[in-house]
A and B are shown apart, each in its own frame.
Chain A
């Protein structure tokens, strides 16, 4: 049975989605990388292999796509047939589930983006730049500081009756403002609710600036798990915000769909054996010119499989097979 694998390696998490030839999800998983993306990919591959053995040993990986900020690294390691940017991948996944979707709000670990769609195709988008305010990493840090498990964060927000205003221009000031609000005696739930509202305000005025937000609106990415953020978006937009199925793995789902649409004749997938191989990434400074690029070198069992990061192509254009 033919199946297609989508892998999304972001700043904090790794997402795996396996689909069949109809686009039905057979398997999905979402895990933190713990700052070690290669090991995380290897671990997730092992889990997938076990799942296949236990559930449907007839499954055969016929194509692999990677996306996310570490899509090149992931693509090199697993042997991807398609390496696609996360905007296109998210647009694909979202429009497959909700064909009439017009807006996708995606907030991940360190990225936040808005995608505007027409007839199932992305026509405009924006990503955060200069600032990661309002992304998952910041929410994580604040939840930790307040001693609230991130999973309980949203529930607490919904308890709030009088959300307090939190400055949202910059995460540093945002944090000082939260501390100040604690010191003058505001309730924790009002502060976290205010924080969610502040982050949404920041998103709408920075990332979504000048974009027409039309319904249906889909909210995806790790932060969409947070019911508090959902509540704040709906309140600010005055419109329904849909958190679809597979919300946390939408990019991986989308890239799997893209591979399925244009399946390779023979997949470049290196196989599940790579879970047990010794994969290392190293870097060196090229001395070829004053640019002194930091070249990254990926090795599998001591054999160089790829190099990248050079501006001129001196290293990346070499063949390594």
Chain B
């Protein structure tokens, strides 16, 4: 049996985990390719125009997978502790069922009600596997994920502690890692002679954040959204280090970012760190994007 995973949106939060988990269970995994023009065009065409750009891209990936596999995996992410995932993530499996003819494999992950592993067992059982097999597949996938993450975080910390000009890129993982969507911002910044650092690769264990920087959280609201909460915590960590500038990328019509942006900007402005806000969507012109980046790098040097 072949399980398809759209390489978009929620995929990028745990890019190695899911494919590994299914492979460990003995399934063949088919990942959609990296986002390209065709995928975006299909996604934009079938989406409601009011939805965010990131969801449109996801739908394009779904369509690409349609008919190429037996099942398409679309998790329903609800809560992690008290904070919720974006409401659009709740509804993804339902929309997926309408959009494609291939059967959708889903499971609800509500970590306030149920531990992640328990939901995973339910998911594995749907595929006819027993608890032991699922547990083993999970642990193996977790070890692999941890290894990759540890390596990434080590490299990031080295970058942070280096003497080069550093720019922190603040966005959701599906914007940071999807080069088509972010117009290859990493490469563009490197060409301009600065070191881009992804906020996603900043260690997020609370123990790594010095205590004095946790206090700053007190003047901020506690964020309702999981992704936003995580970003704000990581910003406190990065502010304790020397950083030359910050760029926040939002996908057009992202409701979560509309709120988050003001707080992120405030954090950096308070420390007199140059801040640039970029919005991306299917119409984003490369020329205007490049102009802003070039001008921004000129302001920090």
Across-interface contacts of A210 in B (CB, < 8 A): 265
- Closest chain-A Cβ to B259's Cβ sits at a distance in Å of 15
Across-interface contacts of B299 in A (CB, < 8 A): 121-125
Across-interface contacts of B184 in A (CB, < 8 A): 311
A282-321 CB contacts (< 8 Å) to partner B: 289-293, 311
A27 at the interface (CB under 8 A from B): no
What number of B residues sit within 8 Å (CB to CB) of A?
22
Q: A87-B298, A125-B295, A130-B279 are in contact. Are A69 and B287 (CB under 8 A)?
A: yes
Across-interface contacts of B36 in A (CB, < 8 A): 289-291
How far, in whole Å, are A69 and B289 apart by their CA atoms in the complex?
A: 11
- Closest chain-A Cβ to B100's Cβ sits at a distance in Å of 19
- Closest chain-A Cβ to B57's Cβ sits at a distance in Å of 14
B292 at the interface (CB under 8 A from A): yes
Q: Output the residue of B252, B274, B292, B298 with the most chain A CB within 10 A.
A: B298
Mark B76-117 against chain A: 1 for CB-CB distance below 8 A, else 0.
Answer: 000000000000000000000000000000000000000000
Q: A123-B274, A291-B180 are in contact. Are A88 and B37 (CB under 8 A)?
A: no
A86 at the interface (CB under 8 A from B): yes
Main secondary structure on chain B at its contact with chain A?
helix
Closest A residue to B180 by beta carbon equals A291
Mark B30-59 against chain A: 1 for CB-CB distance below 8 A, else 0.
Answer: 000100111100000000000000000000
Q: A85-B294, A88-B294, A292-B37 are in contact. Are A124 and B274 (CB under 8 A)?
A: yes
A51 at the interface (CB under 8 A from B): no
- Closest chain-A Cβ to B283's Cβ sits at a distance in Å of 8
How far, in whole Å, are A124 and B295 apart by their CA atoms in the complex?
A: 9
A127 at the interface (CB under 8 A from B): yes
Across-interface contacts of B274 in A (CB, < 8 A): 123-124
A129 at the interface (CB under 8 A from B): yes
Closest B residue to A312 by beta carbon equals B184
B273-301 CB contacts (< 8 Å) to partner A: 274-275, 279, 287-288, 290-292, 294-296, 298-299
A51-90 CB contacts (< 8 Å) to partner B: 69, 84-88
What number of A residues sit within 8 Å (CB to CB) of B?
21
Across-interface contacts of A293 in B (CB, < 8 A): 37
Across-interface contacts of B38 in A (CB, < 8 A): 290, 292
Q: A121-B299, A122-B298 are in contact. Are A69 and B291 (CB under 8 A)?
A: yes
Contact present for A127 and B291 (CB under 8 Å): yes
Q: A69-B287, A210-B265 are in contact. Are A122 and B295 (CB under 8 A)?
A: yes
Contact present for B288 and A291 (CB under 8 Å): no
Closest B residue to A293 by beta carbon equals B37
Q: Output the residue of B33, B39, B265, B296 with the most chain A CB within 10 A.
A: B296
CB within 8 A of A85: which of B39, B180, B265, B291? B291
B212-263 CB contacts (< 8 Å) to partner A: 252
Contact present for B295 and A87 (CB under 8 Å): yes
Closest A residue to B292 by beta carbon equals A127
Contact present for B298 and A291 (CB under 8 Å): no
Across-interface contacts of B296 in A (CB, < 8 A): 125
Across-interface contacts of B265 in A (CB, < 8 A): 210
Residues of chain A at the chain B interface (Cβ within 8 Å): 69, 84-88, 121-125, 127, 129-130, 210, 289-293, 311
**Mind listing 22 A-B residue pairs with CB under 8 Å?**
A69-B287, A69-B291, A84-B294, A85-B294, A87-B291, A87-B294, A87-B295, A87-B298, A122-B298, A122-B299, A123-B274, A123-B299, A125-B295, A125-B299, A127-B288, A127-B291, A289-B36, A290-B36, A290-B38, A291-B37, A291-B180, A311-B184
Residues of chain B at the chain A interface (Cβ within 8 Å): 33, 36-39, 180, 184, 252, 265, 274-275, 279, 287-288, 290-292, 294-296, 298-299
